[in-house]
Amino acid sequence: MAVYPIRTFGDPVLRLPCAEVTEFDVTLRRLADDMLETMYDAPGVGLAANQVGVQKRMFVYDIGDGPGVIVNPVLSGHSGEWEYTEGCLSVPDLAWPIVRFAEVRVDGRDLDGQPLTIQGSELMARMLQHEVDHLDGRLLLSHLDRRQHKDAMRALRRRAMGLSDADSGDDREPVR
């Protein structure tokens, strides 16, 4: 297994929708293993293929109940709303309170190409929505309100210039 470098904000691969997987072969299985290894190494609770530069519609996850993989996932149902502080391995050390659906259902395939449905609430639901967003070429930044987005861009610009967050007037605790 191998740990991939995780692509971060500014990398165009994060803005492109991933392609539907059609080959359920050993290459896909190896990619899933490597992505899990990369996710645990980070550490994070979910990782989409384009976060390691692969344009395949697949993500891996583990919110504490063991590893999981879903291929070609589509959000197929949702209910309620839940606000929680959310971060992303591709936008390191920043986090914002974000409202998402409280419960969701995701339909896709397992690594053998068999139908797979995952349902989850709260943290699980949040992770599922976050990862499906990645595969659609969307980062959590697209869920920020105007003010949050302005602050986020400022923090990211400062970082790109090599300035520390301590100078940005941002007193939020980094969480991911």
Please identify every residue annotated as catalytic.
131
Which residue in the shown chain puts its C-beta closest to Ni ion? 88
Binding of Ni ion at residue 94 (CB under 5 A)? no
Binding characters for Ni ion, 45-84, by CB under 5 A (x = yes): ----------------------------------------
How does DSSP assign 59-109, residue by residue? Answer: EEE-SSS--EEEEEEEEEEEE--EEEEEEETTEEEEEEEEEE-SEEEEEEE
Task: Rank residues 69 and 88 by Cβ distance to Ni ion and give the closer one.
Answer: 88
- Nearer residue to Ni ion within complex by CB, 52 or 88: 88
State in angstroms the smallest separation of the CB of 64 from Ni ion. 17
127 binds Ni ion (CB under 5 A): no
- Cα–Cα distances in angstroms (integers) from residue 77 to residues 104, 113, 117, 121, in the given order: 5, 21, 11, 12
Q: Name the minimum Å distance from CB 75 to Ni ion.
A: 16
By CB under 5 A, residue 88 contacts Ni ion: yes
Distance CA 85, CA 14 (A): 21
CB of residue 89 to Ni ion, shortest distance in Å: 6
Give the residues lining the site for Ni ion (CB under 5 A): 88
